[in-house]
Amino acid sequence: MYICLCKAITDKQIRRAAADGVDNLYELRQTLGVASVCGTCADMANAILQETNSAPTKPTLYTPTAA
């Protein structure tokens, strides 16, 4: 879904940026340009960013190998 119409930024791009280490709106603006034109998307972009950063990470599946 498009979050920032001015820059055509989607929620997936925001989630990917969060996975790459972006953890605040300022960094998101520097990285993707979100909320840099009209600013209407700032609240939604920040909410997605916070939701993604607070989500538990997937556990790593342990697969034993022959010794």
- Taking only the tens place, the pLDDT of each residue in 8-36 is 999 999 999 999 999 999 999 999 999 99
Query: Quick check: is 19 in a domain?
Result: yes
* Residue range 3-8: mean pLDDT, rounded: 96
7-23 burial, b if ≥16 CB within 10 A, otherwise e?
A: bebebebbbebbeeebe
Counting the structural domains of the chain, the total is 1
Q: Would 65 be classed as within a structural domain? A: no
- Token pair in block for residue 43: 């609240």
Which CATH number characterizes residue 19's domain? 1.10.10.1100
- Average pLDDT of the segment spanning 39-54: 93
The model carries a pTM of: 0.79
For residue 17, the enclosing domain spans: 2-54
**Predicted confidence band of residue 6 (pLDDT cuts 50, 70, 90):** very high
More confident call, 24 vs 66? 24
Half-sphere exposure of 3 (CA within 13 A, CB side): 24
What pLDDT, in 10s, does the model give residues 47-62? 999 999 887 766 667 7
DSSP for residue 54: H
Q: Is residue 45 part of a domain?
A: yes
